[in-house]
Structure formats: C-alpha cells, structure tokens
Amino acid sequence: MELTLYNSLTKSKQVFQPIDPADVRMYVCGPTVYDFAHIGNARPIIVFDVLYRLLRHVYGVPHVKYVRNITDVDDKINARAKEEGVSISDVTERTTRQFHEDISALGVLPPDVEPTCTSHIPQMVEMIEVLIAKGHAYEADGHVLFNTPSMKDYGELSRRSLDEMVAGARVEVATYKKDPTDFVLWKPSDDETPGWESPWGRGRPGWHIECSAMAREHLGEVFDIHGGGIDLQFPHHENEIAQSRCAHDTKVMANVWMHNGFLQVEGRKMSKSAGNFITINELLQKWPGEVLRFNMLRTQYRQPIDWTEKSVQESWDVLESWYGQSSPAEAGPALTGEVLEALADDMNTPRVIAALHQMEPAERASNIAALGFAGDLGDPRIGSVDDAAVEAAIALRLEAFGNRDFAEADRIRDELTAQGIQLKDSKDPATGERLTSWELKR
RNA sequence: GGCCUCGUGGGAGAGUGGUUAUCCAUCGGAUUGCAAAUCCGCGUACACCAGUUCGAUUCUGGUCGAGGCCUCCA
C-alpha cells in the first residue's frame, strides 16, 4: 500500500519509499532526563508510536527498526544534580525510570533500541575526529567547533541562509568562534562537571553530536525517517544534518524529516512561570493513559494542539461510549478500510477518528486495538473510594425501589452524588430488571 | 529586527475550485416515578480586503490576529 508523509526537508507530502523495505529505519529524538516529562514531551512519543505501528503494519514487524534515544548528558542534568545534592546518575536513572513508567501508561510500544549518550561517547569522539580531519571542524580554546561555512548547503532544513542567521542573531558570539554560526561539538569540563578523556582534553559532547553518533551506530549513515518536535528543527536537526552529512559525505542524513507541532495549554504557551506546566504524571493521577493518548491524536500531528481539560473530558466520553459497544481488549487488532487510508495520508488521525465513528463496533474495536488502545478506562482516582460502601448503598437503593419507596431511593442517590458518585441506571434487556452502575463525576 | 507556521459553525477538528466531513455541546422528541445514562432528530461555518475564475472557504497579493524558531538552549 502507498504511504504518504510530509517531509520537512522538501516542505511537501511525498509517497514514502524506504531505502530497504526489509529494513525500514526511524530515529526520533528522545527526552533529556532531568525532570518529569510534560504533556508537550508526550506528543512526539505518541505521534511517532502511531507511525511505528503503521510502518510495522505496512512492512511487517521484523522489518522496522525504531530508535529513540535518552539524552543523559546535558548541563541541565548537571544543574539539577547540583541543586539536589545528588549524583548525576541519580538524576538520570530516576528520571529515566519515571519516563518509562509514564509513557507506558500512554500505550506506546518500546522502541527497538533506546540508546543513551553516556554509552556512545567513543562514537561521538570518533565522529568529531573525522570532521576535523575533513576540515569541517576545528579546535579552539578547549572547544571543538563545527565550521558552518565549510558546508555549502548548511541551513537546508530550516531554510535560512547563514547571512540571515547572522543578521537576525540576538546572542553574543563567543570570541573563539571562527564564524558566528559555528556550533560546539565538544566542550571542556571542569573537575565538578561530568567529562570524558578525549584528544582535546577532558570534556563532554555538545548537544547535537549525540544524535548523529547514535543514529549512525544503530541505523547507518543514511536512513529513512528522522522525527522530533518542531522546536528541534533549528538548530538541533540542522546541526545533526551538518555533522552526519559532512562526516559521511552523504547527500542526506535521513530521507524524510518529520516534525510534530507545538502544544499549548488552555490556549497559552505552557511554561513554569505561567503556572500551567502539566506533567504526564500529574495527568495520569486523574485520567486513564489512553484518554490522554486519544486526546493527543484528535489533532493532526503537524498542527498546533491546544490541550484543555474540556477536550480531555470529551476524549474520555468518546472512548467510554466506544468501549461500551465493543472493547478493543476483546478484539483482534487490525487496521482496515478508511482508518488505514487516513493513517497512510500523513497520519491524518482526526480523519481516522471520524472514520472510526462511522464503523461497526466490532471493526472499530479492532482498529483502535491496532492503534494502541487497550480498552482500559479504569479511573485512577477510584482508589480513594470505598467501593464496598458504594455497592452496599446501591443495594439499599434497589431494595427501596422494590418497596416503591422513591423518597428513600432518592435520598440514597443524593447522598452518593454529594460524595461525587454518579449513578447510571439501565435495564437488563432480557429480564427488564433494573441494573445500576456508578462512576466518579469529572 | 530576520525566518517560518497557522486563522473553518457555540467548542474541537478534517477537507474541497462548484456537492452532508466527523465529534462534543445546545435545542426538540422517545424512555424514566424524577434524574443520570441510552436512543432518535436538528446545525449550509470557513478572519478581513482586493485579484484570478463562469464560480473561492479552497489559488495569488495585502491587512489584522495567534503561535514557533533565531546557535550551547529545552
């Protein structure tokens, strides 16, 4: 089948043609592990999980390789460790564990490889040496810098010329740079900062070289898809491209570059200072993970998304209604019909959802199962409720019904309502007997 | 200041040079002892101003508005 993807490199939708259909390779920039992942971080995780599932459907599970790194070397991590008075590995290990816990609740498959920076330092050093040998990088004042004018088409991804960048720059240029747009490959570490021995003294890698080195190690010099958030397009991805292409003398690093749009919260940019910073973990205290997953997919991945309480509630309502008709837990996963077509159209997930609404419940259940939904809407807040007491109250209410004592029945219902418990009555279609279920009000 | 993305009905959100997106909410009805839940029915929107066109929400230009990035930063 034909799969169309939007390529940031060409700014157009293109039919996806893998280099080798028996070995389709995708790299996605993973988290820097210094703090809880926020809901904005969850977007690429979920979006590219959907793509991973689609690729596996199209090319076969054994023929797709998905690499998503963990950035465990970063000055933010160093700052956090210092602030807390703990070791750097304390911070990175704890945060990595938390990250895995949080995203597994979102129904994402683990990537095939999840490399860490700390285990790829030799590969980074080697790549930097190659770049120096080829005249693309130089040592200055203990740093190694990539010389951007040494690459003819630097800036192709973000479509800016070096002149534009210099003209628009607001940042003071370090004096040791040959050119204002040169960027760091390696920087020196003092005794208190993590560092590794290198030909340029004890130091640590710059931000971009990690992804170039890890992608090369696990996917080769040229691979199919590289993904990440739109905020990474420049400078991170631009510089990855520069490093990898210049080190390998290749025309591209990856054939298709994909960027998910930004996330806002209640109509405003999410930031700690604005007080609207939401972590995945916090949301999971209140909502089932698959509601968050569904909510994320209601917007096409390239569009900006406005994350609101109201939209999450709507997502919950939709899933509850679907699961009530046919649960994905009991369905054989399968991508079919219009759902598959919409997915293959640059992952048009809103169109996918519209198609799901039109499907028969059984087929729908199969499709949502294949999209990573398990059918579990267990309310994470339910632990705070004494459900035996609730069941007992419901039994008393049904007894009151039996006696036609509506005043007593309503009194019990009002009491439960006051506790935030919503009753739902239905009839057994066979016997006509009254059945009562309950849930916590949102 | 430079580069870029976006602006669809009450809300969310696809799409299209001329034809019902879809979902949620509202409203009306059925059902219910009363509610909730459930079921049925109802919505001709596409920021503004020009231009191209037989015809534009869909193409081009401009205006206004929202948002992102601008090299060590998350």
For residue A265, what are the β-bridge partners? A268, A307
**Domains along chain A with CATH numbers:** 15-260 (3.40.50.620), 385-440 (no CATH)
Q: How distant is C1' of B12 from CA of A140, in Å?
A: 53
Q: Is the pLDDT of residue A168 over 80?
A: no
Q: Is the pLDDT of residue A360 over 80?
A: yes
Nearest C-alpha neighbor of A265 from the set A298, A302, A312, A317:
A312
Task: Looking at A298-348, list the stretches that DSSP marks H as alpha helix, in order from N- to C-terminal side.
Answer: 309-325, 337-344
pLDDT digits (tens, 9 = 90+) for A252-266: 999 999 999 888 888
pLDDT digits (tens, 9 = 90+) for A206-256: 989 999 999 999 999 999 999 998 888 888 899 999 999 999 999 999 999
pLDDT at A67: 96
Alpha-carbon distance A44 to A181, whole Å?
Answer: 28
Output the six-digit token pair for A64.
Answer: 């797709």
Q: How distant is C1' of B44 from CA of A317, in Å?
A: 28
Residue nearest to nucleotide B22 (CA to C1'): A354
Nearest C-alpha neighbor of A59 from the set A114, A135, A1:
A1
Instruction: Tell me the percentage of chain A whose pLDDT exceeds 70.
Output: 96
Distant-in-sequence, close-in-space partners of A386: CB < 8 Å, separation ≥ 6: none
Q: Is the pLDDT of residue A163 over 70?
A: no
Q: How distant is C1' of B4 from CA of A391, in Å?
A: 57
Identify which has the larger pLDDT, A56 or A396. Answer: A56
Q: Which nucleotide is nearest to A183 (CA to C1')?
A: B71
Q: How distant is C1' of B60 from CA of A306, in Å?
A: 31
Alpha-carbon distance A396 to A393, whole Å?
Answer: 5
Q: Which nucleotide is nearest to A236 (CA to C1')?
A: B71
pLDDT band at A164 (very low <50, low <70, confident <90, very high): low
Alpha-carbon distance A257 to A238, whole Å?
Answer: 11
For residue A269, what are the β-bridge partners? A264
Alpha-carbon distance A79 to A427, whole Å?
Answer: 60
Q: How distant is C1' of B25 from CA of A293, in Å?
A: 22
Mean pLDDT, all residues of chain A: 89
Type of residue found at A427: K
pLDDT at A82: 87
Q: Which nucleotide is nearest to A434 (CA to C1')?
A: B32
